[in-house]
Amino acid sequence: MAGLLPRFRDAVRRAPERIAVRDTASALTFAELDRRTAALAGALRAHGVGRGDRVGVALGRGTDLVVALLAVWRTGAAYVPLDPAYPADRLAFMAGDAAIRALVSATTPGWLPAGAVVVAPDADGPSAADTAGSDLDPAYVIYTSGSTGRPKGVPAHHGAVAALVAALEQAGMYAGEPRVVAWNASVSFDASVQQWARVCRGDTVVVLDDAHRTDPAALVAWLADCGVTDLDLTPSHWTALREHLLDRPLRLFVGGEPIPEPMWRELAESRLEALNLYGPTESTVDATATWITGPGGPHIGVPLAGIRAHVLDDALRPAPSGELYLSGPRLSAGYLGRPGLTAERFVPDPFGPPGSRRYRTGDEVRWSDGGTLEFTGRLDRQVKLRGHRIELGEIEAVLREAPGVAAAAVVVRDDRLIAYHVGGEDPRATAERKLPEHMVPAAFVRLESLPRTPNGKLDTAALPEPETAGGPAPSGPVEELIADVWAEVLGRDGVGADDDFFALGGHSLVALRVVARLKKNFGVPVSTKDVYRHPRLADLAKHVSALATS
C-alpha cells in the first residue's frame, strides 16, 4: 500500500473507537471511517475506478468529504477537488482537463464530462483489499491559477504526501498526542492536504463548515467545544480572529502569504505555539518552516526534510539573494498535460542526482545572517491575496472575453483586486461566471485607454483609484445600521446608500466582520456571498430585509 494508507490502517487498529472526524452534525470513529471508506471504495471499483485513475470530488464541507478523499486513495486513484461553489465553467474545464473517470457527489451536475459516472458519498460497494500502488502514483491533482487564462493541474504523489507528514513530525510540529486538528482550508487548496490527511496518523479532524468559517465568534467557540489543539490559517484570517485566539492554548500553523512584522511580534510574545510554513503547491504543500519565537523579524525558516533550497542569481549561480529554487523527492512531476509549462518551471538540477529537477518558485528571497530564508517579493505577476495564489494574467484573460472589452489590466491595491478595462460596459458578470469568488475583482474601472510607460509597459502608478458612489444618505433603520457597520469596519467617517462595499476598501475578510455584526443585529442567515452579490449598500439592505421577513 502506498503513502499514508498503512498508517491509517494502524490508526484503526490502535484506537477503533476514537473519534476520527467530526462536523457540526455528525462524528465518525476510526472503525466507522474505515467501514465507510471501504464501502465507497468498493462502489468506485464497481464502476471501474482503479490505480492511476482520477476521481472528482464535489461535496460540501463535512465528514462525507473526508470519507470521499480517503476512499479514492483506497482504490489506487487520485482525487481532484471540485469545489461546488466554483463557477460551472471552471468546474467543467477542470473535470475535463483532469479526465476524471468518476465523480463523488450528492447530485449530477451539468458540467459532468462525457463518460464519467456519479457515485454518491454513501454508496456501498463490494468489499475488497486496498489497491496496492506505488509511492510514485498520484494522490491528488489540485488546480492553481494559470497565467495563460486557464488553471493548471498540479499532481502530487503518495510518497510525497507521506514524506510531508513525516517531515512535519520530524520538525516537532505534531508533538504531544493525541492532536485534534481543525480542517480550515478549502479542499481546492494544497493547505487542506496537511489538515485532513492528519487522520491517517491517528489525529481527530474537525471539519469547519462555511457557517463557522464566516463567523469568528462562533468559530472560536466551536473550536473550544471540540477541544481543537491545532489550527491552520493565513495571516489575513488571523486579523479577523486575533482577539478571540490570543489567550487560547493552541498551536497555530500560519502560511499562505507573508506574515506582517507586527503580527510576527504579537505571535512571538503570545502564549500560542505558532509556526510559519512556506511552500508552493509544486513542492507538496510545505517546503520550509520555522517556529515564531524570540526577537527578530519575519522569515520562512529552513527547508523541511525532503526539500533542498537553492538561492540563485540571474546566471543560476548560488547567491546571498535571488530566486528560490526547490528540489528533492517531494517535487511534483509537473503540470498535468502541460509539457511546455512543465519544462519552463521544472528545470534540470545540477546539484542533485542524474535526471533530477528543481522548481523555479518565482519567489525572491535572501539568506539571513542566522541561516534562515527571508521572503523579499515576487519576480512575476503572481500575487498572494488572503492566502489565495492568483495569477493576474488569468483574470485579465477572462476580462478580455467580456463583450466589448478591448484591453484589461488587474492590479492589487490595499489588499483588493482592481480591474481596469477599455471598452465594454461591465465585465463583472463575465468574471463571476468564469472565476472563483476570490479572483473576482472588487472594483471595475472603465478607461479610454490603459496608461503606458515610455517603453510600452503598463504604467500602474497612473491608474486611477476607483471612485466611491457617494450620493444619497442611508434611509431607514436597516440601511442606517449597515452604514454604521461599514463605517466601523472600513474606518470611514460616513457611507452613502449607493456606496459599493469593495470600492470603499472592503474585501472577503472584512466582509466576515460585517456578516458577524449583521447576524447579531438582525438574526438572519446573511453570508459573505450575499455581500459579494449585493455590494451596494442599498441593495444589501433590501436583501437583509427580505431575509428578515422570509
- 338-351 residue pLDDT tens: 999 999 999 999 88
Containing domain of residue 44, as a range?
Answer: 5-233
Q: How much of the chain, in percent, has pLDDT values that exceed 70?
A: 99
DSSP, collapsed to helix, strand or coil, labels residue 242 as helix
From 233, 258, 276, the end of a domain falls on 233
State how far the Cα of 52 lies from the Cα of 50, in Å rounded to an integer.
6
| In a domain? residue 312 | no
State how far the Cα of 263 lies from the Cα of 134, in Å rounded to an integer.
42
pLDDT attached to residue 504: 84
Sequence-distant (≥ 6) Cβ neighbours of residue 442 within 8 angstroms: 416, 417, 418, 502, 503, 506, 507
User: Hey, what long-range contacts does 348-354 have (CB within 8 A, 24 or more apart)?
Assistant: 349/325, 351/308, 351/310, 351/327, 352/308, 352/327, 352/328
Sequence-distant (≥ 6) Cβ neighbours of residue 203 within 8 angstroms: 174, 177, 178, 179, 180, 181, 230
pLDDT attached to residue 244: 83
pLDDT attached to residue 97: 98
State how far the Cα of 21 lies from the Cα of 42, in Å rounded to an integer.
21
pLDDT attached to residue 390: 95
| In a domain? residue 542 | yes
Q: Return the ∠ at Cα 223 (arms to 16 and 218), rounded to 5°.
A: 135
Q: At what angle do helices 63-74 and 30-46 cross, to 10 degrees?
A: 60
Are residues 545 and 406 both part of a single domain?
A: no
Are residues 197 and 165 both part of a single domain?
A: yes
Per the omega criterion (within 30 degrees of 0), is the bond before 178 cis? yes
Query: What sign does the CA torsion over 69, 75, 79, 82 have?
Result: negative
- 75-116 residue pLDDT tens: 999 999 999 989 999 999 999 999 999 999 999 999 999 999
State how far the Cα of 73 lies from the Cα of 376, in Å rounded to an integer.
38
State the pairing for strand pair 321-327/180-183.
Answer: unpaired
State how far the Cα of 67 lies from the Cα of 330, in Å rounded to an integer.
25
State how far the Cα of 313 lies from the Cα of 275, in Å rounded to an integer.
29
| In a domain? residue 200 | yes
State how far the Cα of 431 lies from the Cα of 395, in Å rounded to an integer.
8
To the question of pTM greater than 0.75 for the whole model, the response is yes
DSSP, collapsed to helix, strand or coil, labels residue 101 as coil
CB 344 within 8 Å of CB 334: no
Q: What are phi and psi of 102, to 5 degrees?
A: -150, 165
Are residues 433 and 502 both part of a single domain?
A: no
pLDDT tens by residue, the chain, 550 residues: 579 999 999 999 999 999 999 999 999 999 999 999 999 999 999 999 999 999 999 999 999 999 999 999 999 999 999 999 899 999 999 999 999 999 999 999 999 999 999 999 999 999 888 998 899 999 999 999 998 778 999 999 999 999 999 999 999 888 877 899 999 999 999 999 999 999 999 999 999 987 777 677 788 888 999 999 999 999 988 887 888 888 788 999 999 999 999 999 999 999 899 999 999 999 999 999 999 998 888 999 999 999 999 999 999 999 999 999 999 999 999 999 999 999 999 999 988 888 899 999 999 999 999 999 999 999 999 999 888 899 999 999 999 999 999 999 999 988 889 999 999 988 999 998 999 988 999 889 999 999 999 988 999 999 998 876 667 889 999 999 999 999 988 888 888 999 889 888 888 778 888 888 888 888 888 888 889 889 899 999 999 999 988 7
Are residues 139 and 227 both part of a single domain?
A: yes
State how far the Cα of 235 lies from the Cα of 238, in Å rounded to an integer.
5
pLDDT attached to residue 469: 62
Are residues 394 and 488 both part of a single domain?
A: no
| In a domain? residue 347 | no
| In a domain? residue 329 | no
Q: Return the ∠ at Cα 398 (arms to 396 and 402), rounded to 5°.
A: 110
Return the closest-CA partner of residue 352 out of 290, 308, 403.
308
State how far the Cα of 303 lies from the Cα of 372, in Å rounded to an integer.
9
| In a domain? residue 507 | yes
Sequence-distant (≥ 6) Cβ neighbours of residue 179 within 8 angstroms: 198, 203, 204, 229, 230
Q: Write down the mean pLDDT value for the chain.
A: 92
From 209, 233, 257, the end of a domain falls on 233
3-state helix vs strand vs coil in the chain, percent to 5: 35, 25, 40
State how far the Cα of 44 lies from the Cα of 49, in Å rounded to an integer.
5
pLDDT attached to residue 254: 95
State how far the Cα of 120 lies from the Cα of 108, in Å rounded to an integer.
9
State how far the Cα of 523 lies from the Cα of 145, in Å rounded to an integer.
37
Instruction: Specify which residues 445 forms β-bridges with.
Output: 420
Q: Quick one: CA torsion of 25, 6, 167, 247, rounded to 10 degrees? A: 20
Q: Quick one: CA torsion of 340, 343, 344, 348, rounded to 10 degrees? A: -170
Are residues 62 and 177 both part of a single domain?
A: yes
Are residues 420 and 454 both part of a single domain?
A: yes
Are residues 491 and 453 both part of a single domain?
A: no
State how far the Cα of 160 lies from the Cα of 170, in Å rounded to an integer.
15
Query: Could you tell me the CATH number of the domain that includes residue 450?
Result: 3.30.300.30
Q: How many CB atoms lie within 10 A of CB 468?
A: 16
How many helices (H) does the chain have, and how many strands (E)? Answer: 17, 25
Are residues 484 and 428 both part of a single domain?
A: no
Query: Could you tell me the CATH number of the domain that includes residue 536?
Result: 1.10.1200.10
Q: Which residue has the cell 498508517?
A: 7
Counted domains in the chain: 3
| In a domain? residue 81 | yes
**What would the 3-class secondary structure string for 173-227 be?**
CCCCCCCEEEECCCCCCHHHHHHHHHHHHCCEEEECCHHHHCCHHHHHHHHHHHC
Q: Which helix (H) or strand (E) holds 483?
A: helix 476-490
From 437, 462, 487, the end of a domain falls on 462
Query: Could you tell me the CATH number of the domain that includes residue 179?
Result: 3.40.50.12780
Quick one: cell of 331?
A: 517535487
Are residues 487 and 453 both part of a single domain?
A: no
pLDDT attached to residue 1: 54
Return the closest-CA partner of residue 100 out of 87, 89, 115, 84.
115
Are residues 183 and 97 both part of a single domain?
A: yes
Tally the C-alpha atoms within 13 A of residue 66's C-alpha that lie toward its C-beta.
33
State how far the Cα of 243 lies from the Cα of 90, in Å rounded to an integer.
36
Are residues 449 and 481 both part of a single domain?
A: no
Amino acid at 487: A
State how far the Cα of 291 lies from the Cα of 252, in Å rounded to an integer.
10
CB 258 within 8 Å of CB 235: yes
| In a domain? residue 339 | no
